Amino acid sequence: MAEHATPDNIGTPAPGHAPEGARSARERAVEEWRGREGAGASEPVPFRGRRGPNESAERRVVEQPADREAPQEAPPAEGTDKPAAPPKGLLRRHPVASILGGLALALAAALGYLYYDHAAHFEGTDDAFIASRQFAIAPKVAGYIAAVPVTDNQHVNAGDVIAKIDDRDYRIALAQAEAQVNAAQASIKNIDAQIDVQQAQIASGQAQVEQAQAGLVFAQQQAQRYEQLARTGSGTVQNEQQYSSQLRQQQATLTSAQANLRVAQRQLESLKAQRESANANLAQAEAQRDQARLNLSYTTVTAAQSGRVVNLTAAKGQFAAQGTALTQFVPDDIWVTANFKETQLDHMRPGQAVTLKIDAYPEREIRGHVDSVQSGSGPAFSLLPPENATGNYVKIVQRVPVKLVMDNPPEDVALGPGMSVVPYVRINPAPSLYERLRSAL
């Protein structure tokens, strides 16, 4: 078997040989072994010294230590003075790859700066949703639904019919109210006729009073004449008494005519009071008629503004009680509520331009503007607002709702409350470096 030499036994002279020559040859073998590059962990090394008589011609194998990190360069051959070449650097070994890598690194740095400079002109958030003042549509009167001319998610305009309720009962009630109005109007006409008659009676009474006054004047003259004749003896006492009696009769007739005139005038005032009562009855009847007419109109449920019918529950033949929701309604007037962090509001003002991207329609880019910023954070107006004065306080960044209005909302797609939106508000109107370069190119 071959004998494995180690650094300890390489320099030991074999018995029966000259120690100096054997030592020199073995040292050269060790140096040659150490100078090999890329040799394996175990490589046979030829023995170039002189052999002793007891040594075999087998080659000795020297095991390279396993903990050698890198092979050393071979020493220069004997008899030559040329030194070993120094190792080449990465740039010298791969100049093209190094240059391309440097250019790529510089390009990446430039692109990163362009992106950072452009992004600094905007504030964005993914906590944003479409909002609207949606409400429930309900009938104001009860009844069986006769027709539902709309369907789910249908767009309607202001005044379009959403549901119809059986109106026969309400038509009868309207007819009754109109009859009461007619009766009140007839009563007023009757009172007006009585007033006209009473005014004629008053005129007749005034004529009787005037007649009685004229008769009284003549009776007074006659009584004075015969009284003077009786005192002078030219007339009889009987004639004096007769005309004195006629004077008193004319006075009584005048008093009676005046009393009748006053009665007729009082009756006229009573008729006028009755007419006022009849006018009040007419107004009440007209109000009932108008209410019946309104109730009849309420049997047709219409849209107060343009929008979409959502979550329709009304069906033909269904009994709808007063105030029962027939459907939900989403108006066309919608906006975006973006909950920005309070640290993003420093440069945000109403009127700034906004770019909106809706998750449902990612290929569309909608323009808008900032309408207003809520005066207070969202939790402050919640059902249970936080009480920071109680318990342990941990400061967190609050979110403030910002109302964004769309300038060009799409009309060919359905937009409704709750849909996710990603807005970008331009807080710096000056063009970025990227925009300047793009406009220049």
Q: Which of 75-89, 149-163, 195-209, 372-386 has the lowest mean pLDDT?
A: 75-89
pLDDT, tens only, 367-382: 999 999 999 998 888 8
Tokens of 347: 């440069």
Find, among 257, 141, 246, 283, the residue nearest to 202 by Cα.
257
359 and 424 co-located in one domain: yes
Alpha carbon distances (Å) from 195 to 188, 202, 264, 270, 355? 10, 10, 10, 9, 78
Please give the helix or strand (H or E) that residue 298 lies within, else none: helix 237-298
pLDDT category, 14, cuts 50, 70, 90? very low
Q: Kindly state whether residues 249 and 311 are assigned to the same domain.
A: no
Tokens 């906590």 locate to 127
Q: Say what the pLDDT of residue 11 is.
A: 44
SS3 annotation, 93-122: HCHHHHHHHHHHHHHHHHHHHHHHHHHCCE
Q: What angle do CA 236, 237, 238 make, to 5 degrees?
A: 90
Domain assignment present for 172: yes
Q: How confident is the model at residue 13 (pLDDT cuts 50, 70, 90)?
A: very low
**Whether 275 and 245 share a structural domain:** yes
Q: Could you tell me if residue 38 is left (phi over 0), alpha (psi between -120 and 50 degrees) or otherwise beta?
A: left
Across residues 218-247, what is the average pLDDT?
Answer: 70
The answer to whether position 39 is within a domain reads: yes
Domain annotation covers residue 393: yes
Helix axis angle for 237-298 and 168-232, nearest 10°, is 170
- pLDDT for residue 46: 52
The tally of domains found in the chain comes to: 5
Share of the chain above pLDDT 90, in %: 43
145 and 250, same domain (yes or no): no
Mean pLDDT of the chain: 81
Residue 382 shares a structural domain with residue 393: yes
Strand partners, 155: 308
Mean pLDDT (whole number) for 234-248: 69
Range of the domain at 351: 122-133+333-440
What pLDDT was estimated at residue 152? 92
Rounded CA separation 141/300 (Å)? 10
pLDDT tens-digit readout, 258-298: 888 888 888 888 888 888 889 999 999 999 999 999 999 99
The reply to whether 234 falls in a domain is: yes
Q: Which long-range contacts (CB under 8 A, 24 or more apart) does 185-188 make?
A: 185/282, 187/278, 187/281, 187/282, 188/275, 188/278, 188/279, 188/282
**How many whole angstroms separate alpha carbon 205 and alpha carbon 199?**
10
Do the Cβ atoms of 187 and 283 come closer than 8 Å? Answer: no
Mean pLDDT of 4-16: 45
Statement: residue 23 has pLDDT above 70: no
Note the pLDDT tens digit of each residue in 117-163. Answer: 888 889 999 999 999 999 999 999 999 999 999 999 999 999 999 99
- Are 142 and 72 members of one domain? no
Between 17-26, 184-193, 268-277, the lowest mean confidence (pLDDT) is in 17-26
- In this structure, what CATH number is given to the domain that contains residue 140? 2.40.50.100
Top-confidence residue, 91 or 56: 91
Query: For residues 137 and 67, what is the distance between their CA atoms, to the nearest angstrom?
Result: 86
Residue 430 lies in a domain: yes
Task: Judge whether 264 and 194 are in contact, CB under 8 Å.
Answer: no
Q: 159 with 66, same domain?
A: no
Residue 85 lies in a domain: no
Say whether both 173 and 268 belong to one domain: yes
Residue 84 lies in a domain: no
Residue that the structure tokens 């004195």 belong to = 244
- 179 & 284 share domain: yes
Condensed to tens digits (0 to 9), the pLDDT of residues 399-423 reads: 999 999 999 888 888 889 999 999 9
C-alpha span between 66 and 41 (Å, rounded): 6
**Residue 12, pLDDT above cutoff 50:** no
Bridge-based pairing of strands 60-63 and 4-5 is parallel
Q: Are residues 129 and 94 in the same domain?
A: no
What is the structure's pLDDT at 173? 95
pLDDT at position 3, please? Answer: 43
For residues 142 and 178, state if they share a domain.
no
pLDDT of residue 40: 47
pLDDT for res 291: 95
Whether residue 149 is found in the same domain as residue 224: no
Looking at this protein, which amino acid is placed at residue 79?
G
Q: Helix (H) and strand (E) counts for the chain?
A: 7, 18
For residue 327, being part of any structural domain is answered with: no
Lowest mean pLDDT among 23-27, 271-275, 304-308: 23-27
Q: Which DSSP string corresponds to 215-245?
A: HHHHHHHHHHHHHHHHHHTSS-HHHHHHHHH
Q: What burial letters (b/e) apply to 10-19, b meaning 16+ CB within 10 Å?
A: beeebeebee
How many CA atoms, within 13 angstroms, populate the side-chain half-sphere of residue 349? Answer: 5
